[in-house]
Structure 1
Amino acid sequence: MGVAYVSNERKITAFAAAALLLSSLSLGGCATSTAGSSLMDARAEAPAPPKASVYLPVEDLPPKREKPAMTPDERLKLQKELIAARDRQASGGKARKGAARAQPMKP
């Protein structure tokens, strides 16, 4: 292995390129930190936007109701209606099981 021959011009060019690269990186870092701090200062001075939400915040609960949504009589009536509807559907399903099932159509 021999020592590679590098001319003085190439050394100077490489040194100049390295110096230019390092100076641009260091100046670029200063520019972003200055711009970033001024943006953060502007945001810190801006007033907070008004709170506009259609949903209640989690910690805010609505006040207790003065009267219940349903009285015990209304609840009993609704339960009876639901039980009757369930029984009607169950008896209709049993009647259909005895009948011939419809064959699914092929697409």
Structure 2
Amino acid sequence: LKAMLHSGSTDMGEQGNKILLPASFVGGPRYMQQQYYDAMATCKHFGFPDLFITFTCNPKWPEITRYLKKRNLVIDDRPDIVCRVFKMKLDSLMRDLTDGNHFGKTSSGNIL
């Protein structure tokens, strides 16, 4: 690309190679499309969902702040800890919703 830029070419659209990301690349367009198709297939088989829950992470959760404070770290130093705590809390929520019988018998669940 640098050679084309220095040669005076102004059309960079023709340079380089196109890369097609696989559906396994998390967050890519093909991944998101596959997640959508999976959700629609679940709706077709089990019916439309009764609940739609959005679960977000709070970096000020006591578990996270306690860990970081003990080690004199800031949140930017250990993003992996934030992800781990979020995953543990998400798993706990899903377990409570599916096994806890809070809303009756669960026929399916989907995490996107």
Q: TM-score range by the shorter chain?
A: under 0.3
**TM-score normalised by length of structure 2:** 0.25
More helix by share: 1
Is the radius of gyration larger for structure 1 or structure 2? Answer: 1
Q: Which has the higher contact order (CA 8 A, sep 6+)?
A: 2
